[in-house]
Amino acid sequence: MSWFNSGSHLKTEVEVNRLAKEIRDAGGFPDSDLDGFDVRRENKRLDMAQKSRPFGDDFKEATLDILVPSGDSNKDPKMFPVPGLHFRSIVSVIKAAFESPLADHFHLSPYRLFRKSPVTNEDERIFSELYDSDAFIAAHDEIQRHSLLPPDDLGCTREKIIAALMFWSDSTHLTDFGTAKIWPVYLVFGNLSKYIRARLTSGAWHHLAYIPSVRPFSWPYFCTS
């Protein structure tokens, strides 16, 4: 099913069923694994699983209350509930990122980068990544000097580092036709080089939240007459 739902869009259900039959007939697998396999039924099972948990097990759902001004100084603002915000814990994303294979490419110690000018023969500061910026260096130095020890491990001698969190969001259309859209919030780590972050296949971007679309409020509420 993973092969069927990835790569080329020219694969058909008939091809997948034929592939399953050839694998079963070739032997090497228990017959019970592939007996009665039907791609249409398996696709329905996948759809039902995704429908029941569309954002994954680590996502939570919440309703936000938004205070909307009336536009009239004589009327108080009104609170509107906006349901359907799906979000993940930032701490859980940080833990997952530092346990992933990409963590080997994280820059944990900042530095200053210089080049010698071919014109003046003087050293020039180069700003290329987040981890060679003055802000990153200052934050890194601050936690080395003043950060608190974990309350459950006052003798901790582990290295203290900065997890540089970068957030981005934009409306995303879900289909080529129609108006279906979603508003995701992404998180990426500035500890990674921009040359890795910019690669679509790097897996550097983490889905953090999905913001629901807010329907327009009724006009009579804003009317001052």
94: left (phi over 0), alpha (psi -120 to 50) or beta: alpha
pLDDT in tens, 145-163: 888 887 888 888 888 999 9
What pTM value is reported for the model? Answer: 0.65
The answer for residues whose C-beta is within 8 angstroms of residue 76's C-beta and 6 or more apart is 70
β 165-169/113-116 pair status = unpaired
Angle, helix 39-52 to helix 13-26, in steps of 10 degrees: 110
Provide the pLDDT confidence category of residue 35 given band limits of 50, 70 and 90: confident
| pLDDT of the residue at 179 | 65
Distance CA 69, CA 67 (A): 7
Across residues 72-80, what is the average pLDDT? 88
5-19 residue pLDDT tens: 776 777 788 888 888
φ/ψ (deg, to 5) at 102: -65, -20
64 or 172: which leads in pLDDT: 64
Q: How does 16-34 read in b/e, with b if 16+ C-beta sit within 10 Å?
A: beebbeeebeeeeeeeeee
pLDDT tens-digit series, residues 40-75: 888 888 777 666 555 556 889 999 898 988 888 888
Residue 192 has a CB neighbour count (10 Å cut-off) of 23
CB contact at 8 A, 187 and 165: yes
CA-angle at 181, arms to 195 and 47, nearest 5°? 95
Please report which confidence band the pLDDT of residue 107 belongs to, taking 50, 70 and 90 as the band edges: very high
Predicted local confidence at residue 223, as pLDDT: 45
The percentage of residues in the chain with a pLDDT greater than 90, rounded to a whole number, is 38
Residue ranges covered by each domain of the chain: 1-52, 56-108+162-225, 109-150
pLDDT at 218: 47
Residue 72 in contact with residue 156, Cβ under 8 Å? no
6-20, 103-117, 182-196: which range is least confident on average? 6-20
Strands 165-169 and 181-189, sheet pairing: antiparallel
32: helix, strand or coil: helix
What's the pLDDT at 138? Answer: 95
